[in-house]
């Protein structure tokens, strides 16, 4: 079983919401609090409601790192931060999640800014809807949260290519996260569009942003000593004037420091804290110590087990659906004991509904669907996804790509496939090629036969060696050691516009024995106001689900994930379109539950 995410440190545990936090033990260490020591004086020092008093309106000094304390203007300031990523939470739920942060006793929001989503095509920028960064930051301000912004350009964040746009990889000589001209030119253009949105939101301009992070964990990458100073200058030249921070784990802290920038640490345990706290002192002396990321869990891999730890160690504060966990209750009790003022009441959990099961009524095989798609790309050799002449010359970022050619003999087929390629002789599946399986036997055929390889991009790694994350067929494909040629290539990105090509008249009733891969169409009826739910595809094998044209996510029966979170805000009152793209085997119904299901994996080799 291939693990697609090669991330070496904890990130998310299936959920799309990450909440970074300082645990009770970490806080007790940094605040030097012992049981029973929270007297009136300490409570007053930690009462961040004081920050709304009239003296704050001057806004001259901003957040400063003085000796061993953070200072906001002339007062000591304790940063109790949590992370919510606006691009991973429906916009309609931003306020709910931020109110829950505030009710937990946190006073500062941290968020990444994903370049790949904001500039999906070179020079075309999107800051609308769920990507409205300014609206998110202003919502935080309305609720009473300060903001630490982490704009990258590389953000890691368990997101595709660490948040870098895949079109950067069109350049065969690209060296990401260096001062390579092809990379810095793209960064400069991106920052030219991003920073004018950020600058007015800074503290000294009357906004909530009190600090900005320079890149992310560069000490672990460390390929160009001039890169971090370049990013620092790029921020400052565009008007960033608040406190600058770096963020590194134990592997990169020694190489990640930048002159004039406060170093912070990322970690997962009390043991790491003790070691890194000592090392941080050697790097920058008696400066305030800050844990930028206290990791909320370890990611899951398809075919692996679900990783979960006791709340006394480290885990998430909220679930993907925004529900409270035991960790939330523990942290709220702790912060409530030292805040000096009563914490606001936590919002009620959002309602959940188990909708009636959906039976797909219509179907369209992939092979029948091809005639409704854009004309294929004709190429003498295979072309990787990023270099396909699609999306206004920006290549293909996500989804599947279908490669077709003609063969006249059987034998051994070999290819460098990224990530997973289903091989067909005409329309008959004969197996898969992936990271481990690089060869497959072609059975006896008669005459000229169509060879097809449906390649899935399972996601570019977000940490480590990222320069080689091109997807599709990489280089030549060989039959009996002879390269094949004359390919027809279909880009199946499955964006909203992709499904708009299928009119209702083109769908057929589901047959008793469908031909796979195939699209299945059903209708989810919502009588009242839509509520959150969880979709379960028991009996289905592997594919992708789309709700009203929006990509809900992948499913795979090898686990450990067994349900997909469906936000109620994605649903309409009335009839909702459900499309399932299934690669191999369809179930009879699509089920819905009120709770997520995570089980043991069913390992398939």
Concerning whether 293 is annotated as a catalytic residue, the answer is yes
Spot the catalytic one: 119, 215, 217, 583.
217
Q: Which of 528, 565, 524 is nearest to 548 (CA)?
A: 524
**Integer angstrom CA distances of residue 204 from 22, 178, 189, 198, 393:** 27, 31, 25, 12, 41
Q: Which of 119, 158, 242, 293 is catalytic?
A: 293
DSSP conformational letter for 348: P
| Residue 139 neighbours by CB distance under 10 Å | 20
Angle at 318 between CA 133 and CA 82, to 5 degrees: 50
CB atoms within 10 A of CB 559: 21
CA distance 543 to 517: 9
CA 448 – CA 43 distance, rounded (Å): 81
DSSP designation for 171: S
- The 3-state secondary structure of 374-421, one letter per residue: CCCEEECCCCCHHHCCCCCCCCCCCCEEEEEEEECCCEEEECCEECEE
The HSE-up count of residue 347 (CA atoms within 13 Å, CB side) is 17
What's the CA gap between 264 and 256, in Å, rounded?
10
Q: How far is CA 85 from each of CA 52, 98, 200, 282, 300, rounded to the nearest angstrom?
A: 25, 11, 20, 32, 19
Cβ(553)–Cβ(501) under 8 Å?
A: no
Neighbours of 527 (CB within 10 A): 9
User: Token pair for residue 573?
Assistant: 């009152």
Alpha helices in 199-289 (DSSP H): 227-237, 253-256, 270-284
Q: What does 71-112 look like in DSSP terms, one character per residue? A: EETTEE----EEE--GGGS-GGGHHHHHHHHHHHT--EEEEE
CA distances from 567 to 150, 446, 524, 538, 603 (A): 26, 51, 14, 20, 29
The SS3 call for residue 356 is coil
- Between helix 24-31 and helix 270-284 the angle, nearest 10°, is 40
Six token digits for residue 153? 């350009």
> Distance between CA 9 and CA 294 in Å, rounded?
11
Identify the residue whose tokens are 């901003």.
62
Q: Dihedral through CA 394, CA 580, CA 11, CA 605, nearest 10? A: -100
**Which sequence positions are flagged as catalytic?**
217, 293
């Amino acid at each position: 079983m291939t693990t697609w995410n090669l991330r070496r440190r904890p990130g998310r545990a299936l959920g799309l919401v990450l909440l970074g936090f300082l645990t009770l033990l970490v806080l007790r260490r940094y605040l030097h609090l012992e049981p029973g020591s929270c007297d009136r004086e300490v409570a007053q020092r930690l009462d961040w409601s004081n920050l709304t008093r009239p003296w704050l309106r001057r806004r001259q000094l901003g957040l400063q790192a003085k000796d061993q304390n953070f200072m906001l203007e002339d007062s000591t300031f304790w940063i109790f931060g949590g992370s919510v990523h606006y691009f991973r939470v429906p916009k309609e739920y931003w306020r709910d999640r931020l109110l829950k942060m505030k009710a937990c006793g946190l006073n500062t929001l941290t968020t990444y800014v994903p370049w790949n989503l904001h500039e999906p095509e070179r020079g075309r920028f999107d800051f609308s809807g769920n990507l409205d960064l300014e609206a998110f930051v202003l919502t935080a301000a309305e609720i009473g949260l300060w903001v630490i912004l982490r704009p990258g350009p590389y953000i890691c964040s368990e997101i595709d290519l660490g948040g870098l746009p895949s079109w950067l990889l069109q350049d065969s000589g690209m060296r990401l996260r260096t001062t390579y001209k092809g990379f810095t030119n793209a960064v400069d253009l991106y920052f030219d569009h991003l920073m004018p949105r950020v600058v007015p939101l800074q503290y000294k301009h009357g906004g909530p942003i009190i600090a900005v992070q320079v890149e992310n964990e560069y000490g672990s990458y460390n390929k160009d000593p001039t890169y971090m100073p370049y990013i620092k200058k790029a921020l400052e030249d565009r008007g960033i004037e608040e406190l600058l921070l770096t963020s590194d784990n134990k592997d990169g802290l020694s190489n990640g420091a930048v002159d004039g920038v406060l170093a912070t640490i990322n970690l997962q345990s009390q043991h790491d804290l003790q070691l890194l706290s000592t090392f941080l002192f050697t790097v920058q002396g008696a400066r305030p110590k800050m844990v930028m990321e206290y990791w909320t869990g370890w990611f899951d891999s398809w075919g692996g087990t679900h990783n979960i730890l006791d709340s006394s160690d480290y885990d998430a504060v909220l679930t993907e659906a925004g529900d409270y966990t035991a960790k939330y209750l523990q942290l709220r009790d702790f912060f409530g004991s030292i805040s000096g003022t009563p914490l606001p009441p936590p919002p009620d959990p959002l309602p959940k509904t188990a909708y009636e099961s959906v039976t797909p009524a219509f179907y369209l095989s992939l092979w029948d669907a091809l005639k409704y798609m854009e004309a294929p790309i004709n190429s003498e050799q295979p072309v990787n996804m990023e270099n396909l002449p699609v999306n206004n010359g920006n290549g293909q970022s996500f989804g599947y790509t279908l490669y077709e050619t003609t063969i006249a003999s059987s034998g051994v087929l070999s290819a460098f496939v990224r990530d997973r390629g289903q091989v067909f002789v005409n329309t008959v599946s004969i197996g898969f090629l992936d990271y481990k399986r690089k060869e497959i036997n072609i059975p006896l055929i008669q005459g000229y036969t169509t060879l097809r390889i449906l390649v899935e991009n399972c996601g570019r790694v977000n940490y480590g060696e990222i320069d080689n994350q091109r997807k599709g067929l990489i280089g030549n494909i060989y039959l009996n050691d002879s390269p094949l040629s004359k390919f027809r290539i279909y880009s199946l990105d499955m964006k909203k516009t992709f499904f708009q090509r299928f009119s209702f008249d083109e769908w057929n009733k589901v047959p008793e024995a469908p031909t796979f891969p195939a699209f299945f169409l059903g209708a989810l009826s919502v009588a009242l106001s839509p509520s959150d739910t969880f979709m379960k595809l028991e009996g289905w094998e592997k594919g992708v689900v789309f709700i009203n044209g929006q990509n809900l996510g992948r499913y795979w029966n090898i686990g450990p994930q067994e349900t997909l979170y469906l936000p109620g805000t994605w649903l309409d009152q009335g009839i909702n379109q459900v499309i399932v793209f299934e690669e191999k085997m369809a179930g009879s119904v699509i089920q819905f539950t009120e709770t997520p299901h995570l089980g043991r994996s069913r390992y398939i080799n």
